[in-house]
């Protein structure tokens, strides 16, 4: 199975090298890396596709929705430029994707896999001015909390 990665950059980029380093760590694990940010022009140095959120909302669901809309694969790993992750956790999470629309680590919606199949539900919630918390209440979510 192929997977995408959606890297969400929510704040101004202070260290270009740290963002580039993060992308380099993610690239070998995924078939593609998509960057979602309100600050598209500021990220001119990134070689990966960069897209701005579709809706006028700063809610995390808007970033996830935009990334999934642009990604090529059914499942995408979502993380922010600020969150901690390790490759073993990502590999472990891949084993729990069946029968879920989201697989989160430590109940953190900013680190996990989201399914493209959920785009219609996400869009409806965003049009109703709702966000990630509401989304996680209406879909099947698997939360992993064990150490890897």
Over residues 109-121, the pLDDT tens digits come to 999 999 999 999 9
pLDDT of 69-125, one tens digit each? 999 999 999 999 888 778 888 998 999 998 899 999 888 999 999 999 999 999 999
The hierarchical CATH code for the domain 3-144 is 3.90.550.10
Rounded to an integer, what distance in angstroms lies between the CA atom of residue 66 and that of residue 52?
8
Instruction: Enter the pTM of the model.
Output: 0.93
For the chain, give every domain's residue range: 3-144
3-state SS, residue 75: strand
Rounded to an integer, what distance in angstroms lies between the CA atom of residue 38 and that of residue 115?
22
Q: 44, exposed or middle or buried, with CB in 10 Å at 0-12, 13-18, 19+? A: exposed
What's the confidence (pLDDT) of residue 1?
87
> What's the N-to-C CA distance of the chain in angstroms?
22
What is the number of other CB atoms lying within 10 angstroms of the CB of residue 138? 14
CA-nearest of 90, 95, 140 to 115 is 140
- Tokens describing residue 16: 């270009």
**pLDDT band at residue 146 under the 50/70/90 scheme:** low
Rounded to an integer, what distance in angstroms lies between the CA atom of residue 69 and that of residue 36?
11
């Amino acid at each position: 199975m192929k997977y995408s990665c959606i890297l969400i950059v929510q704040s101004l980029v202070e260290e270009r090298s740290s963002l580039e380093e993060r992308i380099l760590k993610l690239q070998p694990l995924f078939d593609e890396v998509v960057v979602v940010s309100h600050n598209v022009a500021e990220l001119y140095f990134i070689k990966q596709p960069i897209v701005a959120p579709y809706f006028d909302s700063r809610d995390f669901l808007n970033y996830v929705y935009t990334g999934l809309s642009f990604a090529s694969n059914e499942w995408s790993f979502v993380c922010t430029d600020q969150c901690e992750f390790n490759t073993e956790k990502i590999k472990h999470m891949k084993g729990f994707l069946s029968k879920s629309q989201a697989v989160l680590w430590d109940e953190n919606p900013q680190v996990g896999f989201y399914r493209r199949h959920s785009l219609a539900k996400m869009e409806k919630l965003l049009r109703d001015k709702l966000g990630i918390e509401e989304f996680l209440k209406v879909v099947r979510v698997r939360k992993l909390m064990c150490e890897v």
